[in-house]
Amino acid sequence: MPKVLIIGAGGVGAVVAHKCAQVPEVFSEITLASRTQSKCEAIARQLPVKVRTAQVDADNVPQTVALLRDLKPDLVINVALPYQDLHIMDACLEAGVNYLDTANYEPPDVARFEYRWQWDYQERFAKAGLMALLGSGFDPGVTSVFCTHILKHHLDTATEIDIIDCNAGSHGQPFATNFNPEINIREVSAKGRYYQDGQWIETEPLTHKQPFVMPEDLGSLNVYLMYHEELESLARHIPGLKRARFWMSFSDNYLKHLEVLKNVGMTRIDPVTFNGQQIVPLQFLKALLPDPASLGPLTRGKTCIGCQVRGMKDGRPKTVFVYNICDHEACYREVCSQAISYTTGVPAMIGAKLMLTGAWSGKGVFNMEQFDPDPFMAALNAHGLPWKVIENTVFTA
């Protein structure tokens, strides 16, 4: 019976542990390991089944290999931070274990988001007969599966993709991020970038915006063009794609705080000397901001994340929007987390389930859009992230 090791006991790790525990027929043995073992133990106490916990510094490859050799899991679900991706992939190769994550590798000293570093592991994973599934969260993750679902069932060709990530919820805090503050602020402060006609077009951070009217009377929000990693893999794997963009909603209040923090240097990721000690301002800011895991009981409202794909069907232009709406309070009632962690943790569990049951299989390094979307889409409905389709309504300009 399959054994899984979850690395990372933050907001997302907690949801992955809860959701794996709900599927004992697939995840018969679960270990939750992280840098701070007490966080694993606190999560383990919330679960209906017994899980093991362990301490590991995933940046220390020999330490991770020793843990893998001791536990002999079939799969590592990496929900630590993107900085750990390559170290955990190295450990998996050494110990002969399959790998899954939800965010692409980022070097700590520069906010660059690209798959190159992980795609470079293709040959090593293939040779070892192992599988690595990259980006099995919501975005990246479900967004790629939504696109391949639309291509498989609603269109003959896809020419334009717009991914829209809206959070219409509120945590009532003056300023907080819904997932790891350091990773979130690095992502949001980076230059925007989108794919058009085989080229990447760069924009200044958060300079392109448009209103987005959410379905199901959720209201309207401003969404801002950003770079997001699935654009790179979609542009590579979807033939004939002419344009791919990613939009995310931010409240005026969030943007006002971010601008001030940036202007005073608090979002810098290079070390500065303070009282004779080297500190990275963004890491210090993270220490001051609310822990995203603590936002669970405070957050109200809903998220709406979807993909609008334009293309051709039977010789005619057609637009299809597939989306999920997720309620922060319902997530908290189910797994003690807000919807951002929930919408990431559920697809991580589903990706793991498909790997462990053989529904998605292969040797090498894969992105989500390389597999049949059907079992994943069915699992989303079964495990708490139901989706809907709207045809021929245009949501973005």
**Side chain identity at residue 359, one-letter code:** A
Query: Which position among 32, 80, 168, 188 is part of the footprint of ligand NAP (CB under 6 A)?
Result: 80
- Least distance to ligand NAP, CB of residue 280, Å: 14
**Side chain identity at residue 49, one-letter code:** V
Query: Is the CB of residue 153 less than 8 Å from the CB of residue 309?
Result: no
The residues in 131-150 that bind ligand NAP, with binding defined as CB under 6 A, are 137-141
Name the residue nearer to ligand NAP (CB basis): 12 or 100: 12
Q: What are phi and psi of 244, to 5 degrees?
A: -140, 125
Query: Is the CB of residue 343 less than 8 Å from the CB of residue 385?
Result: yes
Binding residue count for ligand NAP, defined by CB under 6 A: 33
Decide if residue 295 touches ligand NAP (CB under 6 A): no
Q: Taking CA 41 as the corner, what is the angle to CA 40 and CA 46, rounded to the nearest 5 degrees?
A: 100
Q: Taking CA 98 as the corner, what is the angle to CA 113 and CA 77, rounded to the nearest 5 degrees?
A: 60
- Least distance to ligand NAP, CB of residue 230, Å: 9
- Least distance to ligand NAP, CB of residue 154, Å: 23
Name the residue nearer to ligand NAP (CB basis): 104 or 308: 104
Query: Which position among 234, 293, 325, 354 is part of the footprint of ligand NAP (CB under 6 A)?
Result: 293
Query: Which position among 6, 44, 51, 81 is part of the footprint of ligand NAP (CB under 6 A)?
Result: 81
What single DSSP character describes residue 219?
E
**Side chain identity at residue 379, one-letter code:** A
Name the residue nearer to ligand NAP (CB basis): 131 or 183: 183
Name the residue nearer to ligand NAP (CB basis): 155 or 355: 355
- Least distance to ligand NAP, CB of residue 183, Å: 4
Query: Which position among 17, 18, 30, 34 is part of the footprint of ligand NAP (CB under 6 A)?
Result: 34
Name the residue nearer to ligand NAP (CB basis): 139 or 327: 139
Query: Which position among 17, 20, 21, 58 is part of the footprint of ligand NAP (CB under 6 A)?
Result: 58
Report d(CA 351, CA 331) in Å as an integer. Answer: 19
Instruction: Mark 88-127 with x for binding to ligand NAP (rule: CB under 6 A) and - for no binding.
Output: --------------xx------------------------
DSSP for 345-378, please give it.
Answer: HHHHHHHHHHHHHTSS--SEEEEGGGS-HHHHHH
The torsion region of residue 133 among left (phi > 0), alpha (psi -120 to 50) and beta comes to beta
Residue whose entry in the numeric block shows the structure tokens 């520069």? 110
Decide if residue 303 touches ligand NAP (CB under 6 A): no
Name the residue nearer to ligand NAP (CB basis): 21 or 155: 21
Tell me the pairing of strands 364-367 and 131-134: parallel
Report d(CA 113, CA 104) in Å as an integer. Answer: 7
The residues in 316-355 that bind ligand NAP, with binding defined as CB under 6 A, are 344
Name the residue nearer to ligand NAP (CB basis): 79 or 380: 79
Separation in Å, CA 367 to CA 126, 234, 345, 378: 14, 9, 17, 19
Decide if residue 57 touches ligand NAP (CB under 6 A): yes
What contacts 201, CB < 8 A, 6 or more positions away? 193, 194, 195
The residues in 162-201 that bind ligand NAP, with binding defined as CB under 6 A, are 179-180, 183
Residue number with the smallest Cβ distance to ligand NAP: 10
Report d(CA 134, CA 245) in Å as an integer. Answer: 20
The residues in 358-397 that bind ligand NAP, with binding defined as CB under 6 A, are none
Task: Tell me: cis bond preceding 140? Omega within 30 of 0 counts.
Answer: yes
Residue whose entry in the numeric block shows the structure tokens 């800011």? 285
Name the residue nearer to ligand NAP (CB basis): 214 or 339: 339
Interacting residue ranges for ligand NAP, rule: CB under 6 A: 7-13, 34-36, 39, 56-59, 79-82, 84, 102-103, 137-141, 179-180, 183, 292-293, 344
